[in-house]
Amino acid sequence: MTQTHRVNRKSRVVTIPVVVASIGLAGCTTTSGRTVGAASASAGVAVSSASYISALEGGLVSKAKGITLSTADRQRALEAEYRALEAAPGGQPVVWQGRGVQGSVVAAAPYQVGSQNCRQYSHTVTADGRETVTRGAACRTVAGTWTPLS
């Protein structure tokens, strides 16, 4: 389920810099202890950041009402969603900035649904002085990608 809300609040934001090419290849572990990324790379499986981003199916940013992003800004927003889901501690914002637009993605602590690791998360986008917050959840697949829950 996805909800969109407008909020006006100031919060402390810490930027987590990540090189896009290394997304998912650093040997991240899930709450079950399973290693993702490094195992795929060492097994000779070609893993690209594009596959991780496309698995988000447009992410929460695509559901933000009244926000139009350039292709480059949408890519930045989706990369931030992936970084928040994959590596950010619960409650820690992952920020991104584009041309006249900026955003912040905050994922909650991971939880289990069956054998999958899942996280609820929110994406705040500020454009033209207007702030929009969209909320949702995603679960990690066996392939190591994050897929939104409907």
What confidence tier does 39 reach under pLDDT thresholds 50, 70, 90? very low
Average confidence score pLDDT of the chain: 75
Alpha helices in the chain (DSSP H): 38-42, 49-55, 71-86
Q: How confident is the model at residue 43 (pLDDT cuts 50, 70, 90)?
A: very low
d(CA 146, CA 132) in angstroms, rounded, equals 22
pLDDT in tens, 81-133: 999 999 999 999 999 999 999 999 999 999 999 889 999 999 999 998 899 99
CB 76 within 8 Å of CB 70 = no
CA distances from 20 to 23, 30, 75, 80 (A): 5, 20, 10, 10
Question: pTM to 2 decimals?
Answer: 0.68
Rounded CA separation 1/5 (Å): 13
